[in-house]
Amino acid sequence: MLIKFWGVRGSIPAPLPSTRIQSKIVRALQEAAAEQVDLSNPRAIEEFVAGLPGATRGTVGGNTACVSVETPGGLVIFDAGTGIRELGEAMMGREFGRGQGEATIFFTHTHWDHIQGFPFFRPAFVSGNRFTIYYMHPHVEQVIIDQMKAEWFPVRFSRMTAGLEFHQIQEGESVNVAGLEIQGKALQHPGIAYAYRVENGTSSFVFATDGEYKSLSASHTKEYNDFFSGADVLIFDAMFSVRDSIIREDWGHSSALIGADIARQAGVKQLVLFHHDPAAGDDEIWRIRQATVEYMSQDLSSGPPEVLVATDGLEINLSDAHDFRVGTHMVSDVVVFSLGGRFDANGAEIFEAQFDELLEQRDMSRIVLSMEDVTDISMAGVKALLEARKQTYSMALAGLPNNVHRVLELAVTTDFFAIYDEVDTALEALNASNNERH
């Protein structure tokens, strides 16, 4: 699954003022002079810029909360802060522009910074598109409709002609969508905000924006540790400094250092600092990251989570349980299967279904399995290959990655298959043996 950040600010959009852009340019030029970068060489300039610190080279961005998750099974969106406008524009270039798109939206709560982009979400104005909207507060549907009333917005909600289906869910209830299992949990926040945990069988992430953790004693944080437990990615409300979170008690926000504690206790692998204070500049946000890394370095007993700053456009790719792929095409009368991804129990099921379906349709006496994109293989995958071998007259495997070949060796099964380096050589060999037959 691909996680992408479209808006990372809390409370209100925070565009980058010109004065800050100028100071970034000045800093970059000073640095270039100090490093004696050859400014007549475009490649040298590009390399130099790519190596600059994040706060000099770019910005965390000014849009409010919106995160998307794309899987082979679909698109899921979390919150509709102002970042959803740009996500919507990107979606219009796809099937959503033709009214053939389907996506799911989850709302954490209805504070402005989490809903304000929705009236500007163009795919919702295209007939034929379908959106399923999940939320946990009972009032979400009404708030989404009301924010487009004439007093606040020129276009009525009724003009959103895409199919919009609203569903309230409860804590402890799971939603299965796009190959993901998603559950919500209440966080301390004025009016409550809900965190969502997203699992795909092999990877998991938690979207925990807008949450205050008032007591950090073990018995109070246990419920959160359980919900965040072992997540590959924890997107965390890092709006305040620890100092501010004490001064602004009950404002409902947390800090990066508190996130570091919770992430470490919960065995999280990557902590993503999110819901940045609109008053904080890029330098300050990157300094918070630095402080968090330094703070966590004091614990040498376990590998601390990696700390990332959420920025507009940041992408994090987590592996998909079902990212096994099968494509087929014919080369004369040989069926070529192109396999990719993880050939495990899920992959075996996908492969067997496709294989059986094709077997019913056509003569599959000679097949080649192109396996160069297979990332790993389990015994379930090996077993599926052996079953396929039984049902065909001749079957060749081509382009096996070393680790996949090694697994066939460990299972002492290499002699069941004709194995070739490339698809072309496998095809030649199959054709040659076929000619001999005739």
Binding residues for Zn ion, per CB under 5 A?
10, 111, 113, 210
Quick one: 113 or 277, whose CB is closer to Zn ion? 113
What is the spatial distance between Cα 124 and Cα 7, in angstroms, rounded to a whole number? Answer: 19
The distance of closest approach from Cβ of residue 113 to Zn ion in the complex, given in angstroms and rounded to an integer, is 4
Distance of closest approach, residue 142 Cβ to Zn ion, in angstroms = 18
Q: State the Cα–Cα distance between residues 396 and 412, nearest whole angstrom.
A: 17
Nearest to 324 by CA among 79, 115, 71, 5: 71
Residue whose CB is less far from Zn ion, 113 or 199: 113
Q: Dihedral of the CA atoms 62, 63, 66, 67 (nearest 10)?
A: -40
User: Between 274 and 337, whose beta carbon lies closer to Zn ion?
Assistant: 274
Please say which residue, 255 or 394, places its beta carbon nearer to Zn ion. 255
Q: Is 116 or 204 the residue whose CB approaches Zn ion more closely?
A: 116
Shortest-Cβ-distance residue relative to Zn ion: 111
What values do phi and psi take at 311, rounded to 5? -130, 155
Tell me the closest approach of the beta carbon of residue 193 to Zn ion, in angstroms. 5
Pick between residue 274 and residue 286 the one whose CB is nearest to Zn ion. Answer: 274
Between 113 and 212, CB nearer to Zn ion: 113
Nearer to Zn ion among residue 162 and residue 193 (C-beta): 193
CB of 7 to Zn ion, least distance (A): 10
CB 187 to Zn ion: min, Å: 9
Shortest reach from residue 217's CB to Zn ion, in Å? 25
Nearer to Zn ion, 194 or 355 (CB): 194
Nearest distance in Å: CB 114, Zn ion: 6
- The nearer residue to Zn ion, 61 or 347, going by C-beta atoms, is 61
Written in H, E and C, the secondary structure of the chain is CEEEEEECECCCCCCCCHHHHHHHHHHHHHHHHHCCCCCCCHHHHHHHHHCCCHHHHCCCCCCECEEEEEECCEEEEECCCCHHHHHHHHHHCCHHHHCCCEEEEECCCCCHHHHCCHHHCHHHHCCCCEEEEEECCCCHHHHHHHCCCCCCCCCCHHHCCCEEEEEECCCCCEEEECCEEEEEEEEECCCCEEEEEEECCCCEEEEECCCECCCCCHHHHHHHHHHHCCCCEEEEECCECHHHHHHCCCCCCCEHHHHHHHHHHHCCCEEEEECECCCCCHHHHHHHHHHHHHHHCCCCCCCCCEEEECCCCCEEECCCCCCCEEEEEEECCEEEEEEEEEECHHHHHHHHHHHHHHHHHCCCCEEEEEEEEEEEECHHHHHHHHHHHHCCCEEEEECCCHHHHHHHHHCCCHHHCEEECCHHHHHHHHHHHHHHHC
Closest approach, Cβ 67 to Zn ion, in A, equals: 13
CB of 237 to Zn ion, least distance (A): 8
- Residue placing its CB nearer to Zn ion in the complex, 10 or 304: 10
Say if residues 55 and 16 touch (Cβ distance below 8 Å): no
CA distance 68 to 79: 9
